[in-house]
Chains A and B, each alone.
Chain A
Amino acid sequence: AQSVTQPDIHITVSEGASLELRCNYSYGATPYLFWYVQSPGQGLQLLLKYFSGDTLVQGIKGFEAEFKRSQSSFNLRKPSVHWSDAAEYFCAAFKAAGNKLTFGGGTRVLVKP
């Protein structure tokens, strides 16, 4: 079955420290991959997406993600987090047809002063 896994339910990081959120997918072929951020009580904002090409993808708010086919991973990174980065982060995927997204379980990021 197609699935997206985010192994870390929550991560606490100090402001200014680096952040890496893990995402693994299980699909028959490489799906389209996305990272979204959700602030409490709000909808989802797209951070970045990967369809093909360069495996290092730059997104908004200083985030980047690296696609690694050999590891079926699409990890999200940020070199230096800000207090405003505290939120829930979702990795998602879909196959070429249908636009039907499958979400990972989410990772809640807490930022310590």
Chain B
Amino acid sequence: GAVVSQHPSWVICKSGTSVKIECRSLDFQATTMFWYRQFPKQSLMLMATSNEGSKATYEQGVEKDKFLINHASLTLSTLTVTSAHPEDSSFYICSASRGPGELFFGEGSRLTVL
């Protein structure tokens, strides 16, 4: 199956710093990538849809200036958590679309903000 890689898999940072998480489709081109957030023992909540070469589409309630998404190429999307605070601590998961109904998920990135 197709492979989607996320990096880093875990990160600890100080409050007020920014953290960048990368999502790469390793063996296919993904015109669309998705970013999800998952709180402990909860489901995945879609944060935004990232389209290559255009601005991301954010879900209601997601702060665009807090969670910056860039999809600069067909194999890479990045999520930057700006001025991170403890409440931003979470598990962030990306998925990449290879076509209709073909979605592949990354391994997730655990962010802990101290």
Interface of chain B, main secondary structure: strand
B contact set with A: CB distance below 8 Å: 1, 4, 6, 32, 34, 41-46, 49, 91, 93, 95, 97, 100-101, 103-108, 110
Looking at the complex, which one of B6, B42, B49, B105 makes contact with A105 (CB distance below 8 Å)? B42
* Distance in Å: Cβ of A49 to nearest Cβ of chain B: 6
A contact set with B: CB distance below 8 Å: 32, 34, 36, 41-46, 49, 51, 90, 94, 96, 98-106, 108
Determine whether the beta carbon of B44 is less than 8 Å from that of A103: yes
How far apart are the CA atoms of A38 and B48 in the complex, in Å?
Answer: 21
Q: Which residues of A contact B91 (CB under 8 A)?
A: 41
How far apart are the CA atoms of A32 and B100 in the complex, in Å?
Answer: 10
Q: Which residues of B contact A102 (CB under 8 A)?
A: 46
Looking at the complex, which one of B41, B43, B104 makes contact with A103 (CB distance below 8 Å)? B43
Give A90's nearest chain B residue, CB to CB: B43
How far apart are the CA atoms of A100 and B107 in the complex, in Å?
Answer: 19
Q: Which residues of A contact B45 (CB under 8 A)?
A: 103
Determine whether the beta carbon of A90 is less than 8 Å from that of B101: no
How far apart are the CA atoms of A46 and B6 in the complex, in Å?
Answer: 17
Q: Which residues of B contact A34 (CB under 8 A)?
A: 103
* Distance in Å: Cβ of A74 to nearest Cβ of chain B: 14
Determine whether the beta carbon of B42 is less than 8 Å from that of A43: no
Determine whether the beta carbon of B100 is less than 8 Å from that of A101: no
Q: Which residues of A contact B6 (CB under 8 A)?
A: 43
* Distance in Å: Cβ of B103 to nearest Cβ of chain A: 6
22 contacts between A and B (CB under 8 A): A32-B101, A41-B91, A41-B108, A42-B107, A42-B108, A43-B6, A44-B44, A44-B105, A45-B105, A46-B104, A90-B43, A94-B101, A99-B97, A99-B100, A99-B101, A99-B103, A100-B46, A100-B49, A101-B34, A101-B46, A101-B103, A102-B46
